[in-house]
Structure 1
Amino acid sequence: MENAAPNPRSSGSLHRFANPGRFLRLTESWLPWLSGAALVVLGIGIVWGLWLAPRDWQQGETVRIMFVHVPMAWLAMGGYMGLAILSIMSLIWRHPLADLTARELSPIGAAVTALCLLTGSLWGKPMWGTWWVWDARLTSVLVLFFLWLGHAALVRAFDDPERGARMGAILALVGVVNVPIVKFSVDWWNTLHQPASVTRLDAPGMHVDILYPLLWCTLGFTLAFMAVTLAATRAAVMERRVRALQMAAARRADASPGQMRSVEA
């Protein structure tokens, strides 16, 4: 890892972050600010959404689940797109940090998608009268959850980390076709799930008293997602550096008796 050099075909911007030491130095200064911003923005969004925002005239207090569910759904899809980009960087440019970041991202993405499914079930029970229905939106999100889990398991299933990363990258790129299915399933098929309310081209389909705290929660959860991913990647880089130092020390220890015998001879 330490001696890996970026492929010369990669761009200059990729070169800048390819060195693990430079990555650690940059993120050491970024991570506290990013984590602090995530806490502040998310704190404002949660307080605003769960306590200060008005109850919905139709859904009542149940609508507050949306302030967690919707950000989790966006992060599940957006995070998977990030995983696909990392996979392209790994397969084409052999970026030395792309594999590590992807490896650490998939458990986080699986957790986010699980929260999306859980909060969706909690929201669906009072609204639809059931915890689960096999409609297009819910089923495609469940498939997305299994893709996250599959990537997390596949990259750890091989003794050779490079081979595992390669197989995981291929799975991520194949699975990316599910993301537009998740996004547009409510438009393509007749489902119980409500259509898009925020990303409509004409105007958002919700009152600003609910829209604004939702956007704050989404920004806060997004910053937290980025901070956790960066922290996990930093930990993976440092763990690999420590392992490399231990292996080098073990090789030196194994070589020392042989050198002493040659000196004695």
Structure 2
Amino acid sequence: MNWIWFHKLGSPKWFFQWANKWSKFAFVIGLLMLAVGIVWGLAFAPADYQQGNSFRIIYIHVPSAILAQSCYLGLGVAGLVSLVWRMKMAPVFIKAVAPLGAVMALIALVSGAIWGKPTWGAWWVWDARLTSVLILFLLYMGVIAIQNSLDDMQLADKAVAVISVVGLINLPIIKYSVEWWNTLHQPATFTITAKPAMPMEMWLPLLLSTVGMYGFIAAVAMWRMQTEVLVREHRSNWVKKEILDNGI
């Protein structure tokens, strides 16, 4: 198996130049799909036969919840790579993506509360799904706090890598909480292994919103990683050349 791509991905210089090529494309496509999906879902998709129009917040809640988990999965993988292979880009990824994942988790919690009030009659209940997502948000905040409070960058990188890996145990709890315990939260709206229970005019804008959110977050993550690379590699000759050539 050819692992050249893996080693290239760990090179700050290679990643910086690669991100320059793809970040704008991901941003434009992601933002377009996200806008179409949300507008379609909020304004044109049919109302749910049980929940009425209150269900429309699903087009914000579900993509943010999925991205919150995906971002943390990325943190866990990057943490493992950082601890095992010591690749420079792994801690860069963690520092760039942790705030984005925290924002996604917060949006998921707030939008879930707004949805829960008319559905359950309460803004918050200590439901297994809600509690595990709250723990996810706190894990993100812990990673961010450690990165910004420790002056020793190497120590901070190692600490957040360990937290990122250990925190992965929370992801299956989030996913299977509605099956393992009696919860108010409904099961997954759709999965890649099963036919959607909703009609196409309801699940298609949700799919567009989710894919668009992935593209949007990927673009912002690449920009944040580029900034972090410049900070960490500012003494490198290639960074100085990049600054001179592009006026960064």
Q: Judge same fold: TM > 0.5, yes or no.
A: yes
Alignment match, 1:259: none
CA distance in 2, matches of 1:149, 1:187: 27
Alignment match, 1:146: 138
State the SS of the aligned residue for 1:190.
coil
Q: Are the structure 2 counterparts of residues 31 and 201 from structure 1 closer, same or farther at C-alpha, using a change threshold of 3 Å?
A: closer
CA distance in 1, matches of 2:147, 2:45: 43
CA distance in 2, matches of 1:57, 1:162: 54
Alignment match, 1:60: 52
Q: Is the 8 A contact 1:14 1:95 kept in 2?
A: no
- C-alpha root-mean-square deviation of aligned residues, in Å? 1.6
Alignment match, 1:92: 84
Residue 16 (1) aligns with residue 8 (2)? yes
What are structure 1's unaligned runs of at least 5 residues?
A: 1-9, 246-265
CA distance in 2, matches of 1:190, 1:206: 23
Q: Are the structure 2 counterparts of residues 12 and 202 from structure 1 closer, same or farther at C-alpha, using a change threshold of 3 Å?
A: closer
CA distance in 2, matches of 1:160, 1:202: 47
Residue 233 (1) aligns with residue 225 (2)? yes
Counterpart AA for 1:107: P
Higher relative contact order (Cα pairs below 8 Å, separated by 6+ residues): 2
Alignment match, 1:73: 65
**1:200, CA displacement in angstroms?**
7.7
Q: Which structure has the bigger radius of gyration?
A: 1
Q: Is the 8 A contact 1:106 1:148 kept in 2?
A: yes
CA distance in 1, matches of 2:141, 2:3: 31
Alignment match, 2:149: 157
After TM superposition, the runs of 4+ consecutive aligned structure 1 residues lying more than 6 A away are none
Matched residues, number: 235
CA distance in 1, matches of 2:54, 2:148: 39
Give CA deviations for 1:128-165 in whole Å, capped at 9, x if unaligned.
11000001010011001101111111223322111111
Identity of aligned residues (%): 40
Q: Is the 8 A contact 2:23 2:218 kept in 1?
A: no
CA distance in 2, matches of 1:164, 1:65: 37
Counterpart AA for 1:209: E
What are structure 2's unaligned runs of at least 5 residues?
A: 237-248
Residue 102 (1) aligns with residue 94 (2)? yes
